[in-house]
Amino acid sequence: MTSNNIDSIRLEGVSKTFGTNTVLAGIGFALSPGTVTGLVGENGAGKSTLIRMISGAIEPTTGRIEVNGESLPASTRAVIEAGISVIYQELTDVPDLPLLENVLLGNLESRWGFTRTRVNRKRALEGLRVVGLDHLSLDTPLRELTIAQRQLAEIARCLVRDAQVLVLDEPTSSLPEADVETLLHVIERLREQGMTILYVTHHLDELFRIADRLIVLRDGRMVAEGPVDEWDEHTLVRAMLAAELEQAYPWRTREIGEKVLEAEGIHAPGVSDARVTACAGEIVGLVGLAGAGRTELMRALCGVNPVSSGKIVVDGKAVKPGSIRHAMRAGLLYASEDRKGDGLILEGTVESNLIYGAYRDVSKFGVIDIRRVGALARDVVSRYRVRLHSTKQAIGELSGGNQQKVVVARVSERKPRVAFFDDPTRGVDVGAKAGIYEEIFQLAEAGAAVCVSSSDTDEVLAVADRVYVLSAGRIVAELRRDEFEREQILHLSSAAGVPVGGSTR
């Protein structure tokens, strides 16, 4: 990594207003070389707006942002050239291009109109070496890499650009635990080399692992900052929420009813001979490492993915496998882990996203009742505490946590017999997690069977009555709550052993 004159980035009295809505007010702090600063706050606290201003995508309404004493450039390209790079939660790579071209995206060197192949390959390898990916072939199509490797390749791209300030927005939200460790090690190495890092995450344990200091935003204002050793998780959550939060999603006893879902011999892409049951009022968890088949099993049971063999029964009635229409009619509803790709139409309004796929409920004689839709949306966003300006606002303008609340609300409000939530709290803050799981608990208490999966094993164990452990597309164990042992479950999910209790498959 080469050095330039950037010593720090400084914000003084930065505010941002959209119309009459003030998103940020009076923000001021400085980032120093060789440090990791953690930025935390609830969804909607203003973190994303702040990142967009630092990247040059939007300008402050008032205040000043400086890079090494100079005003921040007014365009994203100029900001990158000034040494500031932002890596967003959603990857910005090009999967169909090879690794080489992704690392040098928009930055290929040429002479007299000809690409300097040898020079470019050397530059790419230098960046990949820092993040530990220099063993990969530069000609490998990016789509063949894991999510973690693609995340590291984006960091390599920033290093090749001579970045001195790196902003990471929820970099571990879609990574399995082992890959999180790899990424954190890379960040620690970059700090040792003098990189200035702003690390934005909802995973508080990561902050206590790598951050030197913390900045807390709440309702668009900076409410606290200080060295990380002055904080613990309890005081940090209290600063974020202005309230105590003893436990984000406390399990509670529920009356478990009759069996609602019975699925046997399910064979589908990524799933082999799965047998799953779920009872009314029960929360069933799916746990396993990345690629274990958790998402694939959910999608197969809900008709999203094709099923080559097996049977699915809901309330004693057979459901045609591999059919979304038949699954929905039977009350099998699915909330995707990829809210932006599968769960929402980002350009659509909050209202249109809430009624997506359920137009009969708000129609009369085949015509959608606009007033009814508006009333429904206002009621839902109030009960689910969705932060927005208007229900007619494009849902893509909402924070990730508020988008996720809409996804959860859409499933919950349709009174499912079996609700499938795939990584329902991905990329949301601790307060939003509590709200989302409160809705899931209430759904189960109302008599629905609920199936939950997450890349965070601890999260599933905190809420589930029973779990299925998956490995390589197969269910390898089924455990009741009184049999949960985290180390044993992780051992099983790696297909390295058999359970002490429960049943194996």
Q: What is the pLDDT of residue 501?
A: 39
408: pLDDT strictly greater than 60: yes
497: pLDDT strictly greater than 60: no
Is residue 493 within 8 A of residue 468, CB to CB? The reply is: no
342: pLDDT strictly greater than 80: no
Domains of the chain: 9-241 (3.40.50.300), 259-343+407-504 (3.40.50.300)
**What would the pLDDT profile of 416-435 be if each residue is shown by its tens digit?**
999 999 988 876 777 777 77
Higher per-residue pLDDT: 102 or 429 = 102
Order across the sheet with 62-67: list the strands: 21-31, 9-18, 62-67, 70-71
Tokens of 219: 């309702």
Coil, helix or strand at residue 161: coil
Q: From 458, 454, 463, select the one nearest 485 (Cα to Cα).
A: 458
72: pLDDT strictly greater than 80: yes
Q: What is the pLDDT of residue 110?
A: 66
Higher per-residue pLDDT: 167 or 177 = 167
Is residue 151 within 8 A of residue 89, CB to CB? The reply is: no
Q: What is the pLDDT of residue 465?
A: 95
State the burial class of residue 80 (Cβ atoms within 10 Å of its Cβ: 0-12, 13-18, 19+): buried
For tokens 């694939």, the residue is 296
Q: What is the pLDDT of residue 500?
A: 36
d(C-alpha 65, C-alpha 38), whole Å:
18
Q: What angle do CA 81, 173, 60 make, to 5 degrees?
A: 40
380: pLDDT strictly greater than 80: yes
- The three state secondary structure string of 168-221 is EECCCCCCCHHHHHHHHHHHHHHHHCCCEEEEECCCHHHHHHHCCEEEEEECCE
Q: Residue 246 is which amino acid?
A: E
Is residue 495 within 8 A of residue 312, CB to CB? The reply is: no
d(C-alpha 455, C-alpha 337), whole Å:
10
Q: From 155, 139, 222, 225, select the one nearest 195 (Cα to Cα).
A: 155
Q: In 10 A of CB 409, how many CB atoms?
A: 22
504: pLDDT strictly greater than 80: no
> Would you state the torsion angle of the CA atoms of residues 430, 345, 365, 409, taken in this order, to the nearest 10 degrees?
-10
Count CA atoms within 13 Å of residue 54 on its CB side. Answer: 29
pTM, rounded to two decimals: 0.62
**What would the pLDDT profile of 175-218 be if each residue is shown by its tens digit?**
777 788 888 999 999 999 999 999 998 888 899 999 999 999 98
Share of the chain above pLDDT 70, in %: 92
For tokens 């080399």, the residue is 193
Tokens of 188: 């620690």
**What would the pLDDT profile of 255-290 be if each residue is shown by its tens digit?**
999 999 999 999 999 999 999 999 999 999 999 877
Tokens of 365: 């004689």
d(C-alpha 118, C-alpha 87), whole Å:
27
